[in-house]
A and B are shown apart, each in its own frame.
Chain A
Amino acid sequence: MKETIIIGMSGGVDSAVSAALLVEKGYNVEAVFMKNWDEEDTEFCTAAEDYKDALQVCEELDIPLRSIDLTEEYWEKVFKVFLKECESGRTPNPDVLCNKEIKFKAFLDAAKEMGAEKIATGHYAMIDYKDGLYRLKRGKDINKDQSYFLCRLDQYQISKSIFPIGELNKDYVRKQADKLDFLNFDKKDSTGICFIGERNYKNFLKKFFDIKPGEIIKESGEIIGEHEGLMYYTYGQRQGLGIGGGFGRKEAPWYVSDKIIDENKLVVVQGQDHRSLYHKHVKASKVNWISGSPPDSNADITAKIRYRSLDTSCQINYDTQNVFIEFETPKFAVAPGQSIVFYDQDICIGGGFIESRANKNIL
């Protein structure tokens, strides 16, 4: 019998074309619409646009679409962690956790229960199998590569996954969607954190936290403003500080360089080139190695400290708890809480959470 693949269908163009490719390859394809977030706390659900788009695609492909509710899992495993991280002044990345705990765990489990051999998603990343190991590779479309978000997956999770569009570029995917009469072919790419969507991040967080104002200080200690709570700011942030350096001013703009959590103080420096905004050393915790073991010490490793950044060559050392990274060149705005993701050429070898950063090797 043909292999059954259950695809996570979001209503977006990427998963839609992924499904089409699987159908074309002759798999027995079924789609599942995952509900991870309660948009409103209304008692009865609102018929989501995304579901309608997913349904149209599935009808076009003549495959079943079913829904599963993972809101509880998402709340417990992703959102609670997100809130805790925010509260401690860090800059979390819930999408990394969502992949680890929801899409490639709760959804994978549900799909297997529903009779799937494997799951598929519309991620821009590739998988191959070499020397007994599954390898996660960057997506071909380098502007869209999403391996960063998949850095916490393990061998089992990858072995059960298919990324049908990993070898395609976005333009081509859209054109395919148009050709297949998918009504979502020109739907905007989703941006940012899934549950926040287009909303203002600060306003969203304000629903969950009290405002805890404090001082904005220069490195010298001089007070130059007030902030609304450290969780609303991230490292390297320039806009929304409410202090000079803005439009029409001659002086250089201010950037967040540090947060002093105990004193509830936000430290800012002037100018994007300020040395306090750059760090060469990073300590990362809870590092996941996709192969199951750390890379060879002589491997040529690069690392990314956030999704939208280029990776930089680095040396890594580790003890049982942490990985210590020394970059070849200092990195701008290293934010604790974000994922640091390691690559060996085109292979994503794993990732961890940034704990701290420094300019001397004293981590």
Chain B
Amino acid sequence: MIYFDHSATTPIRPEVLEQMNIVNRDYFANPSSVYKTGRKSRSLIEKARFQIATAIGAKSDQIYFSSGGTEANNQVLWTIANQKNKHVIISSVEHPAISKVLEKIKPYGVETSTIPVDDKGIVLTNELMNLIRPNTGLISIMLANNEIGSIQPIKEIIKKICNHNIPLHTDAVQALGKIEIDVNELGIDYLSLSAHKFYGPKGVGALFVNKNNNIKPFIIGGDQENGLRGGTENIAGIVGMGLAAELAIKDQNTCVTKLKKLEKHFLNNLKEHIPSAKHNKTNNLPGLISISFPGNKSNILMAKLDRASIAVSNGSACNTGNIKPSKVLKAIGLDDNINLSTLRISFGKDNTIDEVDFLIKTLIEIL
């Protein structure tokens, strides 16, 4: 199979897998236990915490492990449901792990306002000020979009709201290893990460929390993660995430250069051989390309590509086949027909030019 769906998930790095296997085999003790083996487990987790913190310019005690990006997002949003200022501002291109959570917590009095985006999927920061209310308790805007790869001007947003003392959360699951993340430079209060998006394991993620916050636990139980996340730690997963983050940062320049090369090669060939295809351009997270093929249905295209053993995805479709126009593509102004003819191709660090050529060749055949 040729895999071009790295925004959905990435294959695990062999060295990460190896570390995880060692941990699973040799370090089973509960990190909360105080005897020797328990202390070893604890130290493995703390090392990983340091690796994650380093990857985003944070300090170790600002990192909280969880089951993934979705849980990290939920924790931030459910905290809003339990506080006085219950108004939240999000962008119109957020992942359902933000937008759907907010719908669910409406009954708790949480109100949501949405900032529109331009045709490149970038939030219209000028609109932001009109949306702020006295009871605005959170602004949540993703760092990089998962469907079209637009990168949001978080720094600029922070600058605009700095007088209002409103915490800012960013869902950065698509970004790590592709664009630089420095929490201090960004000036954000919360940031969500997910290991499996940067060649780490599934089922583990982390939330960065700036200390000046009143975040509440979402999963309640033991005192793990400073009381902010109950449940015995997923040691191997956490170790895997830590190493994957470290390697993602170490390889970032090489990886991005590679992704850009693949992207350019693909787009040039697409232009030459399939001029009717429309690239939904953004300011471009490396490796993620959204392409519409007017007159074709994306689900049929995907089935044909699958027959040729090529994995790509279409918007927010789910596996039961029920395809609805993507909200993100709608937000950047695509009409429903174009919307439903759109594929997302997301390259990864191990893709090759030959593979891209095969994709082009296959697209020419099936269109």
- List residues of chain A with CB under 8 Å of any chain B CB: 30, 32-35, 38, 43-48, 50-51, 55, 64, 66-69, 71, 110, 113-115
In the bound complex, what is the Cα–Cα distance between A361 and B225 (angstroms)?
85
Additional A-B contacts beyond A44-B318, A66-B303, A69-B297 (10; CB < 8 A): A46-B320, A47-B319, A47-B320, A48-B320, A55-B319, A64-B306, A64-B307, A69-B321, A71-B322, A114-B307
29 pairs of residues in contact across A and B, judged by CB atoms under 8 Å: A32-B303, A33-B320, A34-B321, A35-B320, A35-B322, A35-B323, A43-B96, A44-B96, A44-B100, A44-B316, A44-B324, A45-B318, A45-B322, A47-B318, A47-B319, A47-B320, A50-B320, A51-B320, A66-B303, A66-B321, A67-B322, A68-B300, A68-B303, A69-B297, A69-B317, A69-B321, A114-B304, A115-B304, A115-B307
Report if B327 contacts A (CB, 8 A).
Answer: yes
- List residues of chain B with CB under 8 Å of any chain A CB: 96, 100, 297, 299-300, 302-304, 306-307, 316-324, 327
In the bound complex, what is the Cα–Cα distance between A50 and B321 (angstroms)?
12
Residues of chain B within 8 A (CB-CB) of A44 are 96, 100, 316, 318, 324
Q: Are B321 and A67 in contact (CB under 8 A)?
A: yes
Residues of chain B within 8 A (CB-CB) of A66 are 302-303, 306, 321
Q: Are B300 and A51 in contact (CB under 8 A)?
A: no
Residues of chain B within 8 A (CB-CB) of A110 are 300
Residues of chain A within 8 A (CB-CB) of B320 are 33, 35, 45-48, 50-51, 67
Q: In angstroms, how far is the closest chain B Cβ from the Cβ of A300?
A: 44
Which residue of chain A lies nearest to B327 when distances are taken between CB atoms in the complex? Answer: A43
Most buried by A among B96, B307, B327: B307
Residues of chain A within 8 A (CB-CB) of B324 are 43-45
Residues of chain B within 8 A (CB-CB) of A67 are 299, 303, 319-322
Q: In angstroms, how far is the closest chain A Cβ from the Cβ of B202?
A: 17
Q: In angstroms, how far is the closest chain A Cβ from the Cβ of B157?
A: 26
Q: In angstroms, how far is the closest chain A Cβ from the Cβ of B301?
A: 10
10 closest A-B pairs (Cβ-Cβ)?
A67-B321, A35-B321, A45-B318, A45-B322, A69-B323, A66-B303, A51-B320, A48-B320, A35-B322, A69-B321
In the bound complex, what is the Cα–Cα distance between A110 and B297 (angstroms)?
10
In the bound complex, what is the Cα–Cα distance between A71 and B320 (angstroms)?
12
Q: Are A69 and B306 in contact (CB under 8 A)?
A: no
Given A43-B327, A44-B316, A66-B306, verify A114-B300 contact (CB < 8 Å): yes
Q: In angstroms, how far is the closest chain B Cβ from the Cβ of A32?
A: 8
Residues of chain A within 8 A (CB-CB) of B96 are 43-44
